[in-house]
């Protein structure tokens, strides 16, 4: 039987027309596409699996609850994890653009994230209460900053080494395979008794650190040729000046606005789990919701990835509509049918559908943004977009603190309605692919 090398794997995973085989990348990079595709795929599988293991909507709340951390700290997990990686990106981008090779930025970011997870494990073994809460939030802030480096460098490298018509596919395949790994791991966790859930969290964190380390090793093997650089653009004043893109580039500004509305799928997710906890479902919740999330990635990501390469714009519309409809159903059931709400199948099923929608939002927006820009413009787009979204995350995330006045289902409804506005906005985006 013929050896299944990188080129053979690449051919099996892609159906590429010759005239589009190297679209939007240079000739040198074209020769390395098969090998780079496989290396990127493996590293993305590992990093996405690591992200699932350190999920701020599932894993970290369980860790904090087990350590006796006040609930006020738990409310900040998602905003810090997400906005912490987005807000500094204007300053980070100025430095990254001075580098001809940018894969090493991603590698360093991955290593820092692995180290941060090790620190979280040490905190879990030595601290409790307020001390554990403050320490975990501090480490999570550093973890998020490292993610910011990975976010900019990762999209830049993807745009340099992978042709335009294959970028959504690689993201979809990686998310699907990472979803399978998450599903299998969650099934194993399901055998751990409820009284030992703290052990399940520690196992998840240890495996997450190992995945980030392996991802860094694989990513370092990417063959990247030096690209366009801009010297002397790492000053804060100059990087802040990039915000002018928001009024000079209408297509980009429209995308950022749309992306802001599409935060609904991420911000509403923790409240599904809070609702499940309040209704005391007779399930191992950590394993159940981790499994559901993994299954959603496994089944939906390849489809979203392929569709994103055909039309990332319409992927955003479809996924936003799904998130909105899903939240509306949860709200109506919570208001009018407690029997259905407290059944063991309803909330896991709705979280599954929300996770499917979230995969579409993630893959659609990433593919759209990478295809919207060229060269160093891509770095500017990513950094400005992520910085603005970081601010919006903090603002929209603060809606969650209204839980003293609004029911959990009402909060889900509010976030879901944002998704409907996002779907309308996405309808008028410039058509790319």
- Residue 374 in contact with residue 314, Cβ under 8 Å? no
Mean pLDDT is lowest, of 14-18, 229-233, 249-253, 400-404, for 229-233
State which H helix or E strand residue 85 sits in.
helix 77-86
What number of other Cβ atoms are within 10 A of residue 294's Cβ?
A: 25
pLDDT at 234: 47
pLDDT at position 19 over 60:
no
CA–centroid distance for 112 within its chain: 18
Q: Contact, 37 vs 168, CB < 8 A?
A: no
Q: How far apart are CA 334 and CA 336, in angstroms?
A: 6
257-307, pLDDT tens digit by residue?
Answer: 999 999 888 888 878 877 887 776 666 777 888 888 888 888 888 889 888
Q: What is the C-alpha separation between 369 and 155, in angstroms, rounded?
A: 9
pLDDT over 70 percentage in the chain:
85
Distance from C-alpha of 16 to C-alpha of 243, rounded to nearest angstrom: 37
pLDDT over 50 at 1, yes or no: no
Domains of the chain: 25-229+239-427 (1.20.1250.20)
- How far is the C-alpha of 266 from the C-alpha of 362, rounded, in Å? 10
Q: What is the pTM of this model?
A: 0.76
The answer to whether the CB of 247 falls within 8 A of the CB of 404 is: no
Q: What is the mean pLDDT of residues 333-344?
A: 89
Condensed to tens digits (0 to 9), the pLDDT of residues 137-149 reads: 999 999 998 988 8
Q: What is the reported pLDDT for 297?
A: 83
Q: What is the mean pLDDT of residues 5-11?
A: 70
Shortest CA distance to 364 belongs to which of 412, 321, 414, 413? Answer: 321
Whole-Å CA distances, 414 to 198, 331, 433? 33, 10, 31
Phi first, then psi, for residue 117 (nearest 5°) are: -65, -40
Give, to the nearest 10 degrees, the angle between helix 285-336 and helix 197-219.
110
- Alpha carbon separation from 327 to 90, 350, 376, 386 (Å, rounded): 33, 8, 38, 25
d(CA 177, CA 48): 9
Considering only residues 196 and 233, tell me which one the structure prediction assigns the higher pLDDT. 196
Helices (H) and strands (E) in the chain, counts: 20, 0
Alpha carbon 97 to its chain centroid, in Å, reads 23
Distance from CA of residue 381 to its chain's centroid? 17
The pLDDT of residue 235 = 47
Name the percent of the chain in helix, strand, coil, to the closest 5: 80, 0, 20
- Residue 241: φ, ψ to 5°: -65, -20
Q: What is the mean pLDDT of residues 220-245?
A: 68
Residue 237 has a pLDDT of 63
Name which residue leads in pLDDT, 403 or 64. 64
């Amino acid at each position: 039987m013929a050896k299944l090398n990188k080129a053979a794997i690449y051919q099996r995973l892609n159906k590429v027309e010759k005239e589009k085989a190297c679209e939007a990348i240079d000739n040198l990079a074209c020769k390395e596409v098969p090998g780079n595709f496989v290396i990127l795929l493996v590293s993305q599988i590992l990093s996405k699996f690591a992200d699932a293991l350190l999920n701020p909507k599932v894993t970290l709340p369980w860790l904090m609850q087990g350590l006796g951390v006040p609930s006020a700290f738990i409310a900040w997990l998602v905003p810090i994890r997400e906005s912490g990686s987005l807000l500094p990106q204007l300053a980070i981008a100025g430095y990254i653009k001075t580098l001809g090779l940018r894969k090493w930025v991603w590698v360093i970011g991955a290593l820092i994230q692995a180290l941060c997870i090790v620190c979280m494990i040490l905190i879990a073994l030595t601290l409790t209460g307020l001390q554990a809460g403050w320490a975990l939030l501090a480490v999570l802030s550093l973890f998020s900053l490292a993610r910011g480096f990975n976010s900019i460098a990762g999209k830049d490298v993807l745009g340099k080494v992978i042709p335009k018509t294959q970028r959504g596919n690689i993201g979809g395949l990686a998310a699907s395979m990472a979803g399978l790994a998450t599903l299998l791991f969650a099934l194993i966790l399901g055998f751990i008794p409820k009284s030992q859930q703290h052990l399940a969290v520690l196992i998840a964190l240890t495996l997450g650190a190992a995945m980030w380390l392996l991802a860094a090793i694989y990513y370092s093997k990417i063959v990247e040729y030096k690209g366009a650089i801009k010297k002397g653009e790492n000053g804060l004043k100059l990087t802040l000046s990039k915000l002018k893109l928001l009024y000079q580039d209408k297509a980009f500004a429209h995308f950022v606005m749309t992306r802001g509305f599409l935060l609904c799928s991420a911000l509403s997710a923790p409240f599904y789990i809070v609702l499940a906890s309040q209704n005391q479902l007779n399930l191992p919740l950590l394993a159940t919701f981790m499994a559901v999330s993994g299954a959603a990635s496994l089944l939906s990501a390849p489809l979203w990835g392929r569709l994103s390469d055909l039309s990332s714009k319409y992927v955003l519309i479809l996924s936003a509509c799904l998130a909105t409809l899903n939240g509306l159903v949860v709200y109506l059931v919570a208001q009018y049918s407690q029997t259905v709400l407290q059944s063991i199948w309803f909330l896991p099923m709705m979280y599954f559908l929300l996770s499917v929608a979230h995969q579409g939002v993630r893959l659609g927006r990433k593919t759209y943004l990478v295809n919207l820009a060229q060269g160093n413009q891509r770095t500017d787009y990513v950094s400005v977009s992520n910085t603005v979204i970081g601010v919006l995350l903090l603002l929209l995330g603060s809606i969650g603190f209204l839980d003293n006045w609004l029911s959990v289902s009402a909060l889900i409804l509010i976030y879901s309605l944002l998704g409907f506005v996002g779907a309308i906005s996405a309808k008028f985006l410039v058509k790319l692919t």
